Chains A and B, each alone.
Chain A
Amino acid sequence: MSDARDTSRAVLGTEALSRHFAGLVAVREVSISLQQGELHAVIGPNGAGKTTLVNMLSGEIRPTAGRIELEGRQVAGEPAWRMTRLGVGRSFQRTNIFASLSVLENARLAAQAVGRVRRNASGRPWCEVELVDRALAALDRVGLSEVAPRIAGTLSHGEQRQLEIAMALAGEPKVLLLDEPLAGMGPEESQRMTALLAGLTRKHAVLLIEHDMDCVFAVADWMTVMAEGAVIAEGRPDAIRANTAVQDAYLGGHV
């Protein structure tokens, strides 16, 4: 793969994006872009500002300064529900599902919550059957179709993480923001999730925060490395792996 990056298919981008918390600069003038069909991994030490960046992109928190563009439209400061309807889906570091509802109900609620599509391609309103179809399609993509009737709280940890991604997919997002989807997973679950992530870029631009370097280097097309709120490196995985500043700040012996 060439070191040059095709940036003509930018879906989501930031320009000098910053966020301050009282005296602390959590994110400092970060400029990145997500391309259609690309998995863009953001790595960095704990406290580097990665989750704060995702929280701004998903509308959870407002930036202190800078721009966020979604398909050319300025969206910085839009609330989370609006970002969801504009096509930004996300998962969280800690699993966020409705534990007492069935797997299917979780995915169906996520499909319904987007609410952006009120009519189908024929101009008819979406009905329950179509919401269920979308939910089932999302469950199928993450490999949870067979457990659709089960109560979500009874799933294994790995399956709950897969369900959370299915809930993001059920909203048919243009952009997927995934915050440590492998957290707490055992080796087999991690391998299954890595395979799932590799297949997501067919339909979505994906931003991935993850500490599992086996996964990141297996699936990333492009990487951004953050430390102390700022971008310290970006490039293709091989270049990042060879970058001594990144090794010192983050990778250590894991190269």
Chain B
Amino acid sequence: MPAPTRSSILLEGRKLDTYYGQSHVLRGISIAIRSGETIGLMGRNGMGKTTLIRTLVGLVRARRGQVLFEGQDVSSTPAFAIAQRGIAYVPEGRGIFASLSVAENLAIGERAAAGAQWTQERVLHLFPRLAQRLTHRGNQLSGGEQQMLAIGRALLTNPRLLILDEATEGLAPIIRDEIWKIVRLIRDTGIATLIVDKTVASVTEIADRIVIIVKGEVVFEGTPPELKVQPELMHRHLGV
């Protein structure tokens, strides 16, 4: 897979340094995600994956470096405004509204636009389980259903980039398979996806490119086949 060309890049982080207080989490990290591409962001716990995502979407401000969306500097743009440009973020822990119904959770995400690709009808077709539980509150759903609701709500914003942080964590094996199947379907619609997940086999199967970070720095960037021929690197940085 060729390196992203400048014109096709959707979201880019350039030499980002992010801190939590004195703790220096991201150390000059750069990443580029182009339209329609699926990136697997990997690395052990505590290496900065979620901080990188939070920096890219504006929830945490980098102390140094730039975030660009379609070439425009959004480093100081509020998170909601970055989201409105077409980024949907499904955080670890799902972040659904526990006291609202499934229908209400979906309505909050819905961004009506003429010719919108994702409508509530299409989301419910993708997740028939949600269609059966429209009146149930968020906290009455199983973990798998909550994850489906979080992804469905994100799709209703009609994003150009979908970010999934540990979307299969804590789910039963059969539900994990279902989530991966849905992620593949979403990828095939042309939405760019940034996936953080510990299931190495699944991520390398679905991703166009893999980025591995260690202590806030990129230590590998390449295609899944390029990663798989480096078992020592996989063992050292992913523990497999």
Contacts and interface: CB of A to CB of B under 8 A. Distances in A.
Given A47-B142, A186-B198, A186-B238, A250 B46 contact: no
Contacts of A253: 173, 177
Interface string A181-202: 0011111110100000000000
Contacts of A158: 45
B144 A47 contact: yes
Q: Is the interface of B mostly helix, strand, loop or mixed?
A: loop
Interface residues of B, number: 24
A246 to B, nearest CB: 10
Contacts of B173: 211, 213, 250-254
- 3 closest Cβ pairs, A-B complex: A47-B142, A188-B239, A46-B143
A253 B144 CA distance: 17
B3 to A, nearest CB: 28
Given A24-B140, A187-B238, A180 B177 contact: no
B141 interface: yes
A252 B144 contact: no
Interface stretch (B78-86, B164-172, B205-213): B164-172
A252 B176 CA distance: 10
A47 B198 contact: no
10 contacts: A156-B45, A180-B170, A184-B166, A185-B198, A186-B198, A186-B239, A187-B239, A188-B239, A213-B173, A252-B174
Interface in B203-240: 238-240
Interface size grouping (class) on chain A: 20 to 34
Contacts of A44: 172
A24 B174 CA distance: 23
A157 interface: yes
B46 A157 contact: yes
Given A45-B144, A189-B239, A252 B170 contact: no
Nearest to B144: A46
A156 B145 CA distance: 29
B140 A186 contact: no
Nearest to A251: B173
A247 to B, nearest CB: 9
A46 B175 contact: yes
Interface in B148-177: 166, 169-177
A153 to B, nearest CB: 11
A249 B174 CA distance: 8
Nearest to A248: B174
Contacts of B172: 43-46, 211, 250
B131 interface: no
B138 to A, nearest CB: 13
A222 B46 CA distance: 34
A46 B142 CA distance: 5
